[in-house]
Amino acid sequence: MEFPIISSLILLPFVGSLFIFFVKSNKSNNSIKYVSLFITLANFILSIYLWIIFDKSSSNFQFVENREWLMGLINYKVGIDGISILFVILTTLVTPLCVLSVNSTIKYKLKEFLIAILLMETLMIGVFCSMDLVVFYLFFEGGLIPMFLIIGIWGGERRVYSAFKFFLYTLLGSVLMLVAILTIYWIAGTTDIEKLYEMGISSEYQKILWLAFFSSFAVKTPMWPVHTWLPDAHVEAPTAGSVLLAAILLKMAGYGFIRFSVGLFPVASEYFVPLVYTLSIIAIIYTSLVALMQEDMKKLIAYSSVAHMGFVTLGIFTMTEQGIEGSIFQMISHGLVSAALFLSVGVIYERNHSRIIKDYGGLVSVMPNYAVVLMIFTLGAVGLPGTTGFVGEFLILMGTFKKSFLAAFLASIGVILSAAYMLWLYRRVIFGKLEKSNLITMGDLNKSEMLILWILAIPILVFGFYPEPLFNTITQSVTNFLDMYNSNIEIYLANKE
Amino acid sequence: MEYFILFLPLFASIISGFFGNKIGQRKSEIITSSFVTISAVLSMIIFYNVLVNQYENNLLIATWINSGSLNVNWSIKIDSLSSIMFVVVTLVSSIVHIYSIGYMSHDPHKSRFMSYLSLFTFSMLTLVSSDNFLQLFFGWEGVGLCSYFLIGFWFKRDKANAAAIKAFLVNRVGDFGLALGIFLIFYLFGSVNYIDVFNQIYLIENKNLQFLGLSFNIINLICFFLFIGAMGKSAQIFLHTWLPDAMEGPTPVSALIHAATMVTAGVFLVVRCSPIFEYSPIILGMITVVGMTTALFAASIAIVQNDIKKIIAYSTCSQLGYMFFAAGVGAYNIAMFHLFTHAFFKALLFLGAGSVIHSFNDEQNITEMGGVYKKIPYTYILMIIGTLALTGFPFLSGFYSKDAIIEFAYLKGSFLGYIAATIGILTAILTSIYSWRLIFKTFHGNYNNKKISFEKMHESPAIMLVPLFVLAIGSIFSGYIFKDIFFDTTGFNNLWSSSITFLEPLSLEHPPKWFILTTPILVILSIPIAYYLFVINKDIPKVLIDANRPIFLFLKNKWYFDELYDFLFVNPCKKIGYFFWKSIDNSTIDKFGPDGISILIKKISNKAVKFQSGFIYQYAFIMLLGFSVLLTILIIN
């Protein structure tokens, strides 16, 4: 048997967290930080290795592991294809940065915090690798718990309220999804995705099942109008929590839409396209306008995340190659950009203990290096050509245009608004005269902050100019996925007649 | 060689931007200026090659986006159109680079400034050298970004920051149009490469698209969207409001970006897409109307402004209007010709104004100047040359290009053409008046500045004046030398064969003599008139103003466009955003959603608690009640 590389990826952080659990925590002892950093870095290198040996010309699942589990009823089946591999790499890239950022942001219970982060990593990688609905569900919902704890324990003043809001929203959707998964097992006799793809689910059940999955994914994306947990969760979460939430957790839903909603229920997906379009476009315009008026930086970025994820859902349901590839690309891009933006807010929050935009102004005079990197991230969020944000957004809009002129037209307005709120934010924080006396003593980025932020800035620029390596990886799988989708729809239409 | 033209400015920008502090400001100035100058020399060589040897090329640098049927490359396309733009961009840019060394000598952030200038040059070159719409869009947004950086260069000034954002956002509205145009093109042709699109355009001549229940001709729609993009970038009426505000940036920036190069990108786009626009007479008509309206409207505002840079900015706006109406009547080559000559004299005027501002220690109000022509003679003469060229004084560059535009509008023969020609002449007179007003108020009359004494006035250093001489030479001779090359659209070896499409060849006739002579005569006559009005008898303008107060205020406040837009767009957006946030997110979704549910659960559990009273007789009573209900149901069944 081959070396179980996927399972190693999933389990490595878990083992690390066990290890830390048994280490005696001690304030002066930095070793737990180094251990977690080492483990997450090793995981990152492993995932890059995986990317290198990944066969880009094949659309099949690769490195599949299939083990019996639960008396043979359900199998532990994991593997990756072109759609999922980039998300795995995104996760393994962002987690070490979170560990690095812990240095100064977490003042108490450091050991527990690191354990939570490592557990999160295990669960998130698991989500992107699962090839069985039950396994997926376990990882997907398991991710709730460490996040709930991160917000509830290490959060700001209103952390309990936010944590419960987060929990209430997400749990509601998950219950329905669980029922749907049980139903699928009852109908089809299996929860193995590959088998389900082959068999197809009879179209009479598809709509109700689609809605059940949708309720879970829509909350996590989040789509309008179930987005209100996100700003609160972000505001209260510690920096590392916000980063994981924005960069990875939101992507699990987008990924779920592609893999499960569209993949398993093509007929229903086609039927519900207008619903998704409407909600996505409302999300794009509505939340952009709300973002414009925010006074809290983290809230502003949280609202902008909703708008950016609106593009993602829009792109996925265009069912065109540009739309879906654009959505995957946009998710990766948003993962990098939003992580970077939250880290950047963390940098000044730590120095001045305020997230309110009004408390800043003229920072460029004292923090020139910070101004440069923040500009790169701002431009990434604005979607300027030369950053990854542009490639994703533009492809999505191109794909949308093929299907609906009106949808593309309205979504394009969001592009204007995103420039408005991001540049206005940047201006109020960075430019202007340095008038507030407490800002004058603020120091520029230290070495570890420089490192963290540039690690994110470089891929944003490189893949903005040369996205080919990423497209190379996803193209085959997406093409094949769409072929499958289209043939399903054709069969359905033929049967109907 | 093409690679060097494109990438030298980029390298210069990176070196000066990231390593400026290490290598020192002087070195970054030298590196950026010399790199861009080399690029300019190479551009001229290429242009010469194109002129003489009909050299053409399309170099592929790398793949950019490759998704499904969408294949886009980074490329350099060399043809007559792009080579002309290369020369204009790199030449003016190198001159501005050198000039900036003097102009910005007191600024602590010189290397950052030079880096932005070089980056702008690079972006502009990618825009013009593109062989597809997406790279064009890249350059399009790239120049917008650099313009944003440079307008807001003095980041401590609130006004500069506001102007920078305004410029970016208004441009984004235009970009929104351009993007929709590109989507539509991709949707129809499955490609965004010029060559694929232009070759297939005739296939869709009569197709329609349904939108909101209305049916639109597709070519008209494409052209409409592309033109919206062009309007944004070239500051045409309705999307012009950012340009005057952009004068908050340093003056060299105004000369390079907001006069000679970036703002002409819209004209370039229309000319580049002439194979599409030729199939859409309706939109060409619209371009003519927009162009001539802008020309007249901007000139009317320029007459009453007092800020030296704003006057020139409105003048730019107005001249861009000329270029558009030239393109609108189908004389694309003439539009390019005016773009070419305009780059020289407008850059000259701006840099000259910069020299004036420099001498007056950053004073920009022309009512605070006056009588200094003897103190700063070189600047004075150079400004006069620029003004003569701008107003179309015979045999200077503006004369050839502007009069050609008016003539071609006339030759178009249509009703619209005649109106355009009339408005062209009217605008030429206004142009002459406001330009001479600027000259006379700045250099003649009494000295009005209270801050610095007349004796302390000094001429600018040589590093600022020498670049101006180069531009002055261009302003004088570029029209005469290049007129035949630009006019020739029919000959076998003509310059334009590969880059501009004419469905119907341009008219070769000449308009009647009286018509040709009208404009120059009026332009010359207006010089003494302006002298009389603004130097000798200053009471007349005052009387005029007092008599027509409402009109004056209307012009002075720039037709109230800013106020209108605040009222229509800016404030409603803010209000709606606030409403969505407070009233919908917080008071509706949260109130009935999570908060509502948690309150509901609390209430229910409070009620439920009351059932557990602990008294046995209550429990027994409820049991009895339940039992009897069950029994009743059983009996009834």
The model's pLDDT over A216-254, given as tens digits with 9 standing for 90+, comes to 899 888 888 888 888 888 888 888 888 988 888 889 989
No. of H helices and E strands in chain B? 28, 4
The token duo for A145 is 């718990």
Query: Which pLDDT score is estimated for A29?
Result: 62
The answer to which of A246-255, B229-238, B446-455 has the lowest mean pLDDT is B446-455
Is the pLDDT reported for residue B57 higher than 70?
yes
Query: Which pLDDT score is estimated for B600?
Result: 80
Q: Residues 51..110 of B with a Cβ closer than 8 Å to A: which? A: 62-70
Phi, psi of A192 (to 5 degrees): -75, 125
Distance (Å) of CA A162 to CA A168, A231, A246, A247, B317 = 10, 9, 15, 19, 52
Query: Which pLDDT score is estimated for A314?
Result: 92
Closest of B118, B121, B124, B132 to residue B59, by C-alpha? B132
Query: Which pLDDT score is estimated for A239?
Result: 86
Considering CB atoms only, which of A395, A423, A432 is closest to B67?
A395
Question: Which residues of chain A neighbour B597 with C-beta distances below 8 Å?
Answer: 168
DSSP one-letter code for A362: -
For residue A335, give every residue at least 6 positions away whose Cβ sits within 8 Å of its Cβ, in sequence order, or none: A90, A94, A246, A247, A248, A251
Please tell me the distance from the alpha carbon of residue A430 to that of residue A371, in angstroms, as a whole number. 7
Q: Which residue has the tokens 């970006």?
A: B257
DSSP one-letter code for B348: H
Q: Which residue has the tokens 């920096």?
A: A239
Q: Which residue has the tokens 């802008």?
A: B294
Query: Which pLDDT score is estimated for A377?
Result: 92
List pLDDT tens digits, range A348-360: 888 888 888 888 8
Question: Which residues of chain B neighbour A325 with C-beta distances below 8 Å?
Answer: 67-68
Percent of chain B whose pLDDT exceeds 90: 9
pLDDT band of B493, cuts 50, 70, 90 = low
The token duo for B116 is 């932005």
Greater pLDDT, B568 or B87: B87
Please compute the mean of the pLDDT values over residues B307-335 and round it to a whole number.
Answer: 89
Is the pLDDT reported for residue A184 higher than 60?
yes
The token duo for A430 is 């960075």
CB pairs under 8 A between A and B: 141
Please tell me the distance from the alpha carbon of residue B587 to that of residue A36, in angstroms, as a whole number. 42
Longest dimension (CA), chain B: 120
Please compute the mean of the pLDDT values over residues A412-435 and round it to a whole number.
Answer: 86
Q: Around Cβ B338, how many Cβ atoms within 10 Å?
A: 29
Between chains, do B63 and A413 touch, taking CB under 8 Å as contact?
A: no
Is the pLDDT reported for residue A2 higher than 80?
no
List pLDDT tens digits, range A316-360: 999 888 899 999 999 999 999 999 999 999 888 888 888 888 888
As a whole number of Å, the end-to-end CA separation of chain B is 99
pLDDT band of A27, cuts 50, 70, 90 = low
What is the CB-side half-sphere exposure of residue A497 using CA atoms within 13 A? Answer: 5
Is the pLDDT reported for residue B498 higher than 80?
no
Question: Which residues of chain B neighbour A364 with C-beta distances below 8 Å?
Answer: 155
List pLDDT tens digits, range B364-398: 888 888 778 888 888 888 999 999 998 888 888 88
pLDDT band of B42, cuts 50, 70, 90 = very high
Please compute the mean of the pLDDT values over residues B436-458 and round it to a whole number.
Answer: 80
DSSP one-letter code for B131: S
Query: Which pLDDT score is estimated for B80?
Result: 85
Query: Which pLDDT score is estimated for A1?
Result: 54
Is the pLDDT reported for residue A51 higher than 60?
yes
Phi, psi of B491 (to 5 degrees): -60, 165
Greater pLDDT, B34 or A102: B34
Q: Which residue has the tokens 């009573």?
A: B621
Distance (Å) of CA B113 to CA B251, B323, B354 = 12, 30, 16
The token duo for B594 is 């999570």
Is the pLDDT reported for residue A28 higher than 70?
no
Q: Residues 359..378 of A with a Cβ closer than 8 Å to B: which? A: 362, 364
Please compute the mean of the pLDDT values over residues B247-261 and round it to a whole number.
Answer: 86
Question: Which residues of chain B neighbour A304 with C-beta distances below 8 Å?
Answer: none
Greater pLDDT, A274 or B23: A274
ipTM above 0.90, yes or no: no
Question: Which residues of chain A neighbour B174 with C-beta distances below 8 Å?
Answer: none
Please compute the mean of the pLDDT values over residues B290-318 and round it to a whole number.
Answer: 89
Greater pLDDT, B317 or B555: B317
Q: Residues 147..176 of B with a Cβ closer than 8 Å to A: which? A: 148, 152, 155-156, 158, 161, 164-165, 168-169, 172-173, 175-176
Is the pLDDT reported for residue A267 higher than 80?
yes
Is the pLDDT reported for residue B490 higher than 70?
no
Q: Around Cβ B223, how many Cβ atoms within 10 Å?
A: 26
Query: Which pLDDT score is estimated for B580?
Result: 77
Mean pLDDT of all residues belonging to chain B: 84
Phi, psi of A2 (to 5 degrees): -70, 165
Please tell me the distance from the alpha carbon of residue B262 to that of residue B422, in angstroms, as a whole number. 28
Please compute the mean of the pLDDT values over residues A470-491 and round it to a whole number.
Answer: 88
* Start-end of H helices in B413-512: 415-443, 462-487
Query: Which pLDDT score is estimated for A331?
Result: 93
Please compute the mean of the pLDDT values over residues B136-165 and round it to a whole number.
Answer: 87
Q: Which residues make beta-bridge pairs with B72?
A: B65
Please list, residue by residue across B567-591, b when 16 or more beta carbons sit within 10 angstroms of its beta carbon and e when fewer do: eeeeeebeebbeebbeebbeeebbe
Q: Are residues B2 and B57 in contact, defined by beta-carbon separation less than 8 angstroms?
A: yes
Question: What distance lies between CA A249 and its chain's CA centroid?
Answer: 5
What stretches of B552-602 adopt beta strand conformation (E)?
none
pLDDT band of A309, cuts 50, 70, 90 = very high
Percentages of chain B per state (helix, strand, coil), in multiples of 5: 75, 5, 20
pLDDT band of B279, cuts 50, 70, 90 = confident
The answer to which of A83-87, B153-157, B489-493 has the lowest mean pLDDT is B489-493
Please tell me the distance from the alpha carbon of residue B538 to that of residue B544, in angstroms, as a whole number. 11
Between chains, do B68 and A292 touch, taking CB under 8 Å as contact?
A: no
Closest of A337, A315, A306 to residue A417, by C-alpha? A306
Query: Which pLDDT score is estimated for A235?
Result: 85
Is the pLDDT reported for residue B229 higher than 80?
yes
The token duo for A447 is 């070495």
For residue A337, give every residue at least 6 positions away whose Cβ sits within 8 Å of its Cβ, in sequence order, or none: A377, A380, A381, A387, A388, A389, A456, A460
Please tell me the distance from the alpha carbon of residue B104 to that of residue B297, in angstroms, as a whole number. 33
Q: Is the dihedral of CA A444, A448, A449, A452 positive or negative?
A: positive
Query: Which pLDDT score is estimated for B494?
Result: 65
The answer to which of A277-286, A361-370, B435-444, B608-617 has the lowest mean pLDDT is B608-617
Closest of B324, B126, B240 to residue B561, by C-alpha? B240
Distance (Å) of CA B77 to CA B195, B261, B340 = 11, 18, 19
Q: Residues 567..596 of B with a Cβ closer than 8 Å to A: which? A: 573-574, 576-578, 580-581, 585-586, 589-590, 593-594
Q: Are residues A361 and A429 in contact, defined by beta-carbon separation less than 8 angstroms?
A: yes
Q: Is A458 on the interface with B (CB under 8 A)?
A: no
Q: Is A82 on the interface with B (CB under 8 A)?
A: no
3-state secondary structure of A450: helix
Query: Which pLDDT score is estimated for B489?
Result: 64
Please tell me the distance from the alpha carbon of residue B16 to that of residue B33, in angstroms, as a whole number. 11
DSSP one-letter code for A62: E
Considering CB atoms only, which of A289, A466, A475 is closest to B577?
A289
List pLDDT tens digits, range B459-486: 888 888 888 888 899 888 888 888 877 8
Please tell me the distance from the alpha carbon of residue A42 to that of residue B297, in angstroms, as a whole number. 65
The answer to which of A18-32, A200-214, B73-87, B507-521 has the lowest mean pLDDT is A18-32
Query: Which pLDDT score is estimated for B2?
Result: 79
Please compute the mean of the pLDDT values over residues A110-127 and round it to a whole number.
Answer: 87
Query: Which pLDDT score is estimated for A364?
Result: 82
pLDDT band of B405, cuts 50, 70, 90 = confident
The answer to which of A394-408, A415-429, B54-68, B229-243 has the lowest mean pLDDT is B54-68
Is the pLDDT reported for residue A367 higher than 80?
yes
Query: Which pLDDT score is estimated for A434?
Result: 79
Query: Which pLDDT score is estimated for A340?
Result: 92
Please tell me the distance from the alpha carbon of residue B21 to that of residue B567, in angstroms, as a whole number. 45
